[in-house]
Amino acid sequence: MSGRKGAATKRQVATQTGKVARAAAEGRMPSGSPESEQASEGRVEAAYRYLRNAILSNDLPAGFQAAENEIATQLGMSRTPVHEAMARLQEEGFVQILPRKGILVRALTPADLLEIYDVLIALEGAAAELLAAEADRALSSTLAELQASTDAMASALRTDDLDAWRVADERFHDMLVAGCGNSRIKRMIATVAGQSHRARRLTLHLRPAPINSATEHQAIVDAIRSGDVAAAGEAARAHRRHARSQLVPILKRINFRQL
Amino acid sequence: MSGRKGAATKRQVATQTGKVARAAAEGRMPSGSPESEQASEGRVEAAYRYLRNAILSNDLPAGFQAAENEIATQLGMSRTPVHEAMARLQEEGFVQILPRKGILVRALTPADLLEIYDVLIALEGAAAELLAAEADRALSSTLAELQASTDAMASALRTDDLDAWRVADERFHDMLVAGCGNSRIKRMIATVAGQSHRARRLTLHLRPAPINSATEHQAIVDAIRSGDVAAAGEAARAHRRHARSQLVPILKRINFRQL
DNA sequence: GCATTTCACCTTGCATGCAAGCTGGAATGG
DNA sequence: CCATTCCAGCTTGCATGCAAGGTGAAATGC
């Protein structure tokens, strides 16, 4: 199980030469995270965002293997920034650096997903508690956003628009952590949430319609609005537990072939 | 607040030349983390551990400022591994890289500690829940360790041995996360726990005797042993909340002068 | 004496160069 | 035909070289 290469062997990276470097020079990213933190923070950041995005969007599927050299050439930079970006990606579990063999895009096993969901349950629960604890602060805008997302989800459910549902769902969870005010929770969730996104997007059309999701979100919003800390945390945790209980069996069934 | 240098200006790093490099070559670390993960994983890992330890033990106090060059020389390596180690330390909040000024060891403000404790509350609660959920697995050794630590704490409290209490307390919390089986929770807690250790050690003799700690730990152990998931999680969270409520006022009083 | 300008130095960021080591396959012996 | 040995090449890890860009202080003008 150690020396075996994944199903997907070496393959060309699907970009033109210097794609990221040129985009970064003009101040825009291919499709960075929703909140653009800073304009251009250097090539290592560019490489990191590009690679992370490529993995999450499955342009670099699990089992993909390449050398720093190739990636650096494709990105129009030297090996150094790619090397540092890879170190970050390895710490976050996206890739594995095989000592003298190259870089391997890791698969997401059901066990990984269970771990990720445990973290999400705990951290989003904490975020909900924090929001509820300061229900009187200037978070009315956050609360309005949460309510709007919940309404959008309910609406999308009525029209069976799963993609719209997914967008609204992601917006809800983004707002939940964005508004909680704890930057560490924010960053930690951002680290693990990407991986769950990948799995959720792939299984979106495989699982039963998330008919309870809007109700559960509404319960979270109500608890936050009323300032009930314990209820908010428990509602958020229950919501993620529920989602996990639906997702994991499906992943086991498709046997993580192309995660 | 931006251009001001901290109270501590540039100072020599208190080591001999090549300290870490030579130690790493022989396969031992100055004082790495309790669980030695791998033998020698390269200079960047050596630099990371050394610097992290130096910051946590206050050899590099907050406000300390230096260039990669100096540190690299002191550690007997080139700038490259130091640079990568610094990137990691910055992501974890230990230092701040001032674009063209040098590396600044960050202070730990009360706000930071609040954030850290929120994370600890959430993640250790999850760990306790996980342990309780598989109360019948082969975790009897973990449970025994937890019970032993709790007993040691009670004993240390009776003899007013605060240092022994701290050791037992840290062992308890280490076991709690080590036994939970979720590697991501483990790593995330390890990341933030170091910072809380720094604060707790500094305030150890300033806060009221932790007379309730043994009782609270016992409640966690009992809930895990009986497999009561919700009770275990809530007990762990309550314990950390309690600790936080004692710690934060003290930090505000001493006004984070030398954190 | 104070504000302003300038300039040399120091710092990081990245490219490139170099070495060690493992891999995989080819060549060889049985 | 199979096992064994050896070797060449490719890989990462780290050192060093180079350039862009601020910083801070000294020098200068008012």
Using the predicted structure, report yes or no on whether residue B182 has a pLDDT greater than 90: yes
pLDDT at B67: 95
> Are B213 and B193 contacting, i.e. CB atoms less than 8 angstroms apart?
no
Backbone angles phi, psi at B106, to 5 degrees: -80, 150
pLDDT tier for residue A5 given thresholds of 50, 70 and 90:
very low
* B129, B134, B135, B140 alpha-carbon torsion, rounded to 10°: -110
> Is the CB of residue B21 less than 8 Å from the CB of residue B75?
yes
Q: How far apart are CA B194 and CA B56, in angstroms?
A: 7
Residue A170 touches chain B, beta carbons under 8 Å: no
**List of chain A residues whose C-beta atoms are within 8 Å of the C-beta of residue B115:** 182-185
Q: Where are the alpha helices (DSSP H) in chain A?
A: 19-25, 43-56, 68-75, 79-91, 110-133, 140-158, 162-178, 183-202, 213-225, 229-254
**In this model, does residue A95 exceed pLDDT 50?**
yes
Work out the mean pLDDT of chain B and round it to a whole number: 81
Average pLDDT over residues B91-116: 89
Q: How far is CA B129 from CA A82, A94, B245, in A?
A: 39, 27, 23
Distance CA A170, CA A75 (A): 30
Contact B87 A91 (CB under 8 A): no
Question: Chain B within 8 Å of A194 (Cβ-Cβ)?
Answer: no
B123 contacts A121? CB cut-off 8 A: no
Check pLDDT > 90 for residue B249.
no
d(CA A63, CA A65): 6
The nucleotide whose C1' lies nearest the CA of B45 is: D13
Who among B44, B130, B192 is closest to A184 (CB)? B192
Burial class of residue A134 (count of CB atoms within 10 Å of its CB; 0-12, 13-18, 19+): middle
pLDDT band at B24 (very low <50, low <70, confident <90, very high): very low
Residue A253 CA to residue A109 CA, distance in Å, equals 12
What's the pLDDT tens digit per position in A232-252? 999 999 999 998 888 878 877
* Per-residue pLDDT tens digits for A167-223: 999 999 999 999 888 999 999 999 898 888 877 777 777 777 678 888 999 999 999
Interchain CB distance below 8 Å, A185 and B116: no
- pLDDT band for position B32 (cuts 50, 70, 90): very low
Q: Does domain B110-254 have CATH number 3.30.9.10?
A: no
Rounded to whole angstroms, the distance from the CA of residue B9 to the C1' of nucleotide C3 is 28
Q: Which residue in B8, B1, B4, B59 sits closest to B30, CA to CA?
A: B59
Shortest distance between the Cα of B126 and any Cα of chain A, in A, equals 6
Q: Which is more confident, A127 or A5?
A: A127
Nearest CA to B258 among B115, B109, B112, B111? B109
Which pLDDT belongs to residue B1?
33
CA distance A237 to A244: 11
Query: What local confidence, expressed as pLDDT, does residue A97 receive?
Result: 93
CB A118 within 8 A of CB B126: yes
Domain ranges of chain B: 19-105, 110-254
Reply yes or no on whether the pLDDT at B40 is more than 70: no
Task: Name the nt closest to A21 by C-alpha to C1'.
Answer: C14
Work out the number of other CB atoms within 10 angstroms of the CB of residue A69.
12
Q: How far is the CA of B40 from the C1' of D7 (A)?
A: 28
* Average pLDDT for chain A: 81
Bridge-partner residues for A104, per DSSP? A65, A96
> What number of other Cβ atoms are within 10 A of residue B248's Cβ?
17
The tens digit of pLDDT for each residue in B59-87 reads 999 899 999 999 999 999 999 999 999 99
**Angle formed by the axes of helices B110-133 and B213-225, nearest 10°:** 30
For residues B67 and B102, is the Cβ–Cβ distance under 8 A? Answer: yes
How is domain A19-105 classified at the architecture level of CATH?
Orthogonal Bundle (1.10)
Count how many residues are written for chain B: 259
Whole-number percent of chain A with pLDDT over 70:
80
What is the structure's pLDDT at B255? Answer: 57
Give every strand in the sheet of A65-66, ordered side by side.
A65-66, A102-105, A95-98
Q: Is the pLDDT assigned to residue B175 strictly greater than 60?
A: yes
pLDDT, one tens digit per residue, over A7-26 is 344 444 443 444 554 444 43
In which band, very low, low, confident or very high, does the pLDDT at B212 lie, cut at 50, 70 and 90? confident
pLDDT (0 to 100) of residue B222: 94
Confidence of residue B103 (pLDDT cuts 50, 70, 90): very high
pLDDT above 90 covers what percent of chain A? 50
Number of helices (H) and strands (E) in chain B: give both, helices first: 10, 3
